[in-house]
Structure 1
Amino acid sequence: MIVLHHVTQARSFRTLWLMQEMGLEFEVRQWDLFGKSMRGAQFKALSPAARVPALEIDGRVLFESGAITEYLVETRPECGLGREVGDEERADWLQWLHYAETIGQHLANLSQQHIALRDPAMQSPIVMKLEALRLEKVLEVVDRVVTEQDYLLPSGFSAVDVNIGYGVMMARHFVPAGRLAALEDYYKRLVARPAFALAKARDGDTLLYKEAFYAPPKEG
């Protein structure tokens, strides 16, 4: 049995969504990000950095979402969502896989400012504005590509659309939806996928991002 250790709205959603796209059978075990359980020995035995995802699969545990994506599509190539060595799209596939972390970096910084730092005195309006602008800039790269084609690769949907798509979804909390027209259409195509709906149904109750949009506070 494959077991995904998951926190609602966290990066483990990438793995949850991807496995739904692959048609795999798996169990989801929810963890409380705001409690103490993830700092305990039981969870750290699965994920040394005490973060999600952690995936129990094939007799071992993986705990990095990008690596999990690559492992899943390479060990189960029949899913058709990876690009094997020698494939003409392999380099672009890998580049998008890692570009998801560029998006994730800015999302993490914004999430820390708006959500983790609950005391307004600890928040920086300047950092919030700069990070939102930086996030929009990295999203523009995706927008340019999906202006010309439906998905990130010319041949169609693949696992990197899941990893990037998660970033696009979460970015809507910090960059106004619809500002990048092609990106908005791309997002609509992703959320219309049956596997996305199945993943959202298993994601759990909203705990982390309780507001649809987090605007930077006014300075002073």
Structure 2
Amino acid sequence: MLKIFHVPGTRSVRPLWLCFELGLEFEIVPIDFSPAYRDSLEWRSISPAGKVPALTDGEVNMFESGAMLEFILDRYGDGRLRPEKGTPESAEYLQWSWFAEATLSRPLGFMRAMKLVHAIKQGKEEVDVIAAEGEKKARSALEAVEQRLADREFLVGTGFTAADIMTGYSLDLLSHVYSLDESYPKAAAYLGRLKAREACKKAIAA
């Protein structure tokens, strides 16, 4: 059976959300994500990188959320929530799926790291400059989402897809840093639509 190892609030929300959207039968495996367990041989045998989510399905063992979504769609999607491969819409889908982690989420992690360094070094000027650059990249990514949603409800022309799951999670993280309503109203409305979906509600509550 398909199993997803889950910690609330982490990227494991993504595969849970997709499974709920597809109406799949699967098992949610809550884990203790303390530092001791993350470093344990038991957890590292499931997730070699020591992170969540992790997924097992028969002989398959995975530990990257974006790759999990593609695998789930390949094995269980029956053509749903992803455009036909090789089409212009598929190119859009791939672009926005990768954008979610490579462009939208990355500055947030970077800024968190800089805040930690800032605290340790007590406000060194070079740390402030680097943190400001991270914020600039985050706002640039948010502008890209805002522009994309100027004339559409979802990122890809075919409607709601797994790319929205990927980007929605990242956007939700950034919404805790920036007031989307004021500066990015289209993105804020989009996030509201995503979080109103029953599958998203179930994934967040899991």
Using structure 2 for the length normalisation, give the TM-score: 0.88
Match status 1:182 vs 2:191? no
Structure 1 residue 174: Cα displacement: 1.8
Which deviates more, 146-155 or 101-110? 101-110
Match status 1:5 vs 2:9? no
Identity %: 31
Structure 1 residue 177: Cα displacement: 2.6
- Structure 1 Cα separation of the partners of residues 121 and 8 of structure 2: 25
Task: Judge conservation of contact 1:168–1:187 (CA < 8 Å) in 2.
Answer: yes
Corresponding residue for 1:194? 198
Structure 1 residue 119: Cα displacement: 8.2
Structure 1 gap ranges (5+):
203-220
Equivalent in 143, 150, 161 of residue 164 of structure 2: 161
Runs of 4+ residues deviating >6 angstroms: none
Greater helix proportion: 2
Match status 1:145 vs 2:136? no
- Structure 2 Cα separation of the partners of residues 50 and 113 of structure 1: 22
Corresponding residue for 1:43? 43
- Structure 1 Cα separation of the partners of residues 111 and 10 of structure 2: 14
The 5-angstrom pairing of residues 53-202 of structure 1 reads 53-78=53-78, 80-101=80-101, 102-114=103-115, 117=116, 120-122=119-121, 124-178=127-181, 179-202=183-206
Task: Judge conservation of contact 1:165–1:187 (CA < 8 Å) in 2.
Answer: yes
Task: Output the amino acid matched with 1:186.
Answer: Y
Structure 1 residue 118: Cα displacement: 8.8
Task: Judge conservation of contact 2:38–2:51 (CA < 8 Å) in 1.
Answer: yes
Task: Output the amino acid matched with 1:104.
Answer: S
Corresponding residue for 2:23? 23
Structure 1 residue 79: Cα displacement: 5.8
Corresponding residue for 1:208? none
Q: Deviations over 1:60-99 (max 9, x none)?
A: 2111111111111122232611223233311111111111
Task: Judge conservation of contact 1:10–1:52 (CA < 8 Å) in 2.
Answer: yes
Task: Output the amino acid matched with 2:110.
Answer: N
Task: Output the amino acid matched with 1:192.
Answer: A
Task: Judge conservation of contact 1:74–1:84 (CA < 8 Å) in 2.
Answer: no
- Structure 2 Cα separation of the partners of residues 81 and 87 of structure 1: 14
- Structure 2 Cα separation of the partners of residues 95 and 148 of structure 1: 18
Structure 1 residue 122: Cα displacement: 4.4
State the number of aligned residues. 200
- Structure 1 Cα separation of the partners of residues 40 and 92 of structure 2: 39
Task: Judge conservation of contact 2:89–2:156 (CA < 8 Å) in 1.
Answer: yes
RMSD: 2.0
- Structure 2 Cα separation of the partners of residues 122 and 57 of structure 1: 45
Task: Judge conservation of contact 1:17–1:196 (CA < 8 Å) in 2.
Answer: yes
Task: Judge conservation of contact 2:9–2:204 (CA < 8 Å) in 1.
Answer: no
> For residues 17 and 140 of structure 1, do their structure 2 counterparts lie closer, same or farther at Cα, with a shift above 3 Å needed?
same
